[in-house]
């Protein structure tokens, strides 16, 4: 129960930070709770660190994404894409978490497999009728396609991919104030 309450407070504070931002022409990242940043082995700043669970804020293709990290590097989470067809083919969507409108977070909008980040730009969402999904585990194992009958209306965005290796961060990661 304490964990849920802490998570609720974290999300509401973060949402408050997002809503308190002025509406600039270009989206702005939320401000972290402290000046703590994640750095790589070469002391290069990865991004602002958000604790509990450990996440770093990255801007990827105009979207602000919370990516799970640990000392060993970025943490694989798996990914669950949704489809508007009954056989897991066609356009690939990620479901939007209802708590945030401008920030993609690991539990819903973000996935990480083999250092490839799967995310949605939460500014470009639509309601889809999800007819199937197919989970890829953090280990890369792809599960069987699951059909949703009847289809389930979901707020979703096109699932985008970004190779985190292109950022050239080197483990181990650490925190710095």
pLDDT in tens, 155-172: 899 999 999 999 999 999
Q: Which two tokens stand for residue 95?
A: 């479901």
Cβ pair 103, 122 in contact under 8 A: yes
What's the domain range around 96? 2-176
Least confident stretch, 20-29, 56-65, 85-94, 101-110: 20-29
| Higher-confidence position of 85 and 123 | 85
CA-nearest of 37, 49, 69, 74 to 163 is: 74
Token pair 């974290």: residue: 10
Q: How many structural domains are present in the chain?
A: 1
Q: What phi and psi, each to the nearest 5 degrees, are found at residue 172?
A: -80, 150
pLDDT bracket for residue 126 (50, 70, 90): very high
> If you average pLDDT over every residue of the chain, what do you get?
79
Per cent of the chain over pLDDT 90 is 54
* pLDDT at residue number 109: 64
Kindly state the average pLDDT of the residues 75-102. Answer: 84
* pLDDT at residue number 98: 54
Question: Looking at the chain, how many residues does it have?
Answer: 177
pLDDT bracket for residue 95 (50, 70, 90): confident
* Sign of the CA dihedral with 125 first, then 130, 132, and 138 last: positive
Kindly state the average pLDDT of the residues 11-31. Answer: 39
List, in order, residues 6 or more apart from 4 with CB less than 8 Å away.
none
Q: Which two tokens stand for residue 123?
A: 């500014």
Q: Which residues pair with 129 in a beta bridge?
A: 153
Q: What phi and psi, each to the nearest 5 degrees, are found at residue 149?
A: -125, 120
């Amino acid at each position: 129960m304490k964990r849920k309450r802490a998570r609720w407070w974290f999300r509401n504070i973060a949402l408050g930070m997002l809503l308190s931002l002025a509406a600039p022409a270009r989206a702005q990242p939320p401000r972290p709770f402290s000046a703590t940043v994640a750095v790589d082995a070469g002391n290069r700043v990865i991004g602002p660190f958000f604790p509990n669970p450990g996440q770093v804020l990255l801007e990827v293709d105009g979207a602000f994404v919370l990516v799970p990290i640990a000392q060993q590097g970025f943490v694989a989470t798996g990914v669950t894409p949704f489809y508007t067809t009954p056989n897991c083919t066609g356009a690939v969507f990620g479901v939007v978490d209802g708590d945030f409108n401008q920030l993609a977070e690991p539990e819903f909008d973000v996935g990480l497999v083999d250092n490839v980040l799967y995310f949605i730009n939460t500014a470009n969402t639509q309601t889809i009728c999800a007819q199937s999904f197919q989970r890829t585990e953090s280990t890369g194992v792809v599960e069987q396609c699951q059909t949703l009958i009847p289809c389930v209306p979901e707020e979703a965005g096109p699932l985008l991919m970004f190779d985190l290796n292109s950022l050239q961060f080197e483990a181990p990661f650490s925190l710095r104030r």
